[in-house]
Amino acid sequence: MAQFNPFLFYSNKLQKLFVKASQQKNPALWLHENDARTILFMLEALTRIHNKAFNDKLFYKWNKRFKKLEDVFGEIDQYMTLENEFKTNKKVSKEVLKYFRVNANNFTEKCNQRLIAKDWLNNKLNSFDHKISEFNIEYNKEYLDKLRFTILKEIDAIFSFLEKSKFQFTKIEEEVHELRRKLRWFSIYAQALNGLIQLKKTQTKIKFQINYFTEDVLNSPYNILPKRPKNISVIEFNHDAFFALSWMILKLEDLKDKGLKIQKLSDAIFIPEDITRQQAEEKAISILGFESDIQKNILQQSSDLVSVFVLKDKVLNSLIIS
């Protein structure tokens, strides 16, 4: 029982990557290629939920550190992914492609500077491990109740967030993308807590109006949770609600990605060409092969899907069993 510690599990994984990265000419690029971002997400999720549950400076401080480093990897990933995608589009000029390559390189350099300045490659995580070992966690009912209550509060916060827009989104980044971020934490918690969250199939089947059980959802590795630790209580998530959540995260990702591509390609076109922002956006939409009212459609489709997901299918209400 004393051996179980999700923090140390992921910290050890990340430290091994840092040791190998320190021997590379370009540590940030190597870490990006070896998926350090995923492990950072796990540590960010653990410190996030524990900071909310226990209000301890240790978790607040390290959550900020993990998040800042993860954010930079996120920028690298974004620009590299878009460059690779736009390479296959003959309508995208070499000059425009250069915008993505330059930004990817700039953020890679920024990441390398952060790795050195913040001592990440020099056993920085030893300090984290030491502090975590001092934080006495007993994986009992009282501890799990605090985590469960924290998740319930986050669900309530999502309801409040959606009520502000009355389920009619008008902004892709601030509403559609932000909602996806909020929902995604529940999926990340389920992985990061390393077995403390388990899925349970209930006898009463939920009658959903949307078919959430698509091939992508059923085959997603994120829906296979770590095994339950021995002799430790767990938080149970409703199996069907969790899979429905996975579908919504994927759907919102697809929708916000379309909006993101328009925005980033528009930025890249605007810089070298003598045109207005509006013209750059129209050109980007045309190059991507989207309809002229794509952004309006993204917002409406997102609004409609989320409305059914939350109000009719009540997925979030049924997510936590115990």
Q: Is 70 exceeded by the pLDDT of residue 2?
A: no
Contact 96, 265 (CB under 8 A): yes
Secondary structure class of 291 (helix, strand, coil):
coil
Helix and strand numbers, DSSP H then E, in the chain: 12, 2
Give me the mean pLDDT over the 268-275 stretch. Answer: 89
Q: Are residues 31 and 129 in the same domain?
A: yes
Q: Are residues 96 and 226 in the same domain?
A: no
Contact 114, 72 (CB under 8 A): yes
Q: Are residues 53 and 199 in the same domain?
A: no
Provide φ and ψ at 305, rounded to 5°: -65, -45
Calpha distance 189→6 (Å, rounded): 11
Cβ neighbours of 40 (radius 10 Å): 24
Q: What is the pLDDT of residues 50-90, one digit of tens each?
A: 999 998 899 999 999 999 999 999 999 999 999 999 999 99
pTM above 0.85, yes or no: yes
Q: Are residues 111 and 157 in the same domain?
A: no
- Looking at residue 271, its pLDDT comes to 85
Contact 229, 4 (CB under 8 A): yes
Calpha distance 68→80 (Å, rounded): 19
Provide φ and ψ at 320, rounded to 5°: -90, 125
Contact 244, 298 (CB under 8 A): no
* Angle, CA of 127, 133 and 137, to the nearest 5°: 140
Q: Are residues 17 and 73 in the same domain?
A: yes
Q: Is 90 exceeded by the pLDDT of residue 4?
A: no
- Looking at residue 1, its pLDDT comes to 41
Calpha distance 266→203 (Å, rounded): 50
Q: Are residues 158 and 133 in the same domain?
A: no
Q: Are residues 116 and 210 in the same domain?
A: no
Spell out the residues 6+ positions from residue 266 whose beta carbon is closer than 8 angstroms to its own.
Answer: 277, 280, 281, 283, 284
Residue corresponding to tokens 């920028």: 75
Of 1-5, 37-41, 77-81, 201-205, least confident by mean pLDDT is 1-5
| pLDDT above 70: percentage of residues in the chain | 99
Note down the domain range covering 91.
Answer: 1-137
Give me the mean pLDDT over the 132-143 stretch. Answer: 86
Contact 279, 265 (CB under 8 A): no
- Looking at residue 98, its pLDDT comes to 96
What DSSP designation does 320 have? B
Of 229-233, 254-258, 264-268, least confident by mean pLDDT is 229-233
Last residue of a domain, one of 137, 163, 185: 137
Q: What is the pLDDT of residues 159-177, one digit of tens each?
A: 999 999 999 999 999 999 9
User: If you average pLDDT over every residue of the chain, what do you get?
Assistant: 95
Cβ neighbours of 106 (radius 10 Å): 13
Last residue of a domain, one of 137, 166, 182: 137
Q: Are residues 129 and 153 in the same domain?
A: no
Tokens of 4: 């179980």
Confidence class for position 251, pLDDT limits 50, 70, 90: very high
Q: How many residues does the chain have?
A: 322
Residue corresponding to tokens 């021995």: 230
Of 16-20, 153-157, 160-164, 226-230, least confident by mean pLDDT is 226-230
Last residue of a domain, one of 137, 168, 184: 137
Q: Are residues 53 and 43 in the same domain?
A: yes
User: Which has the closest alpha carbon to 74: 118, 109, 104, 98?
Assistant: 104
Q: Which residues pair with 238 in a beta bridge?
A: 200
Contact 125, 174 (CB under 8 A): no
Q: Which residues pair with 236 in a beta bridge?
A: 198
- Looking at residue 322, its pLDDT comes to 67
Helix axes of 36-54 and 178-192: crossing angle, nearest 10 degrees: 90
Q: Are residues 132 and 190 in the same domain?
A: no
In SS3 terms, 12-68 reads as: HHHHHHHHHHCCCCCHHHHHHHCCHHHHHHHHHHHHHHHHHHHCCHHHHHHHHHHHH
Q: Are residues 218 and 279 in the same domain?
A: yes
Structural domain tally of the chain?
2
Q: Are residues 143 and 133 in the same domain?
A: no
- Looking at residue 57, its pLDDT comes to 93
In SS3 terms, 150-206 reads as: HHHHHHHHHHHHHHHHCCCCCCHHHHHHHHHHHHHHHHHHHHHCCCCEEEECCCCCC
Q: Is 90 exceeded by the pLDDT of residue 94?
A: yes
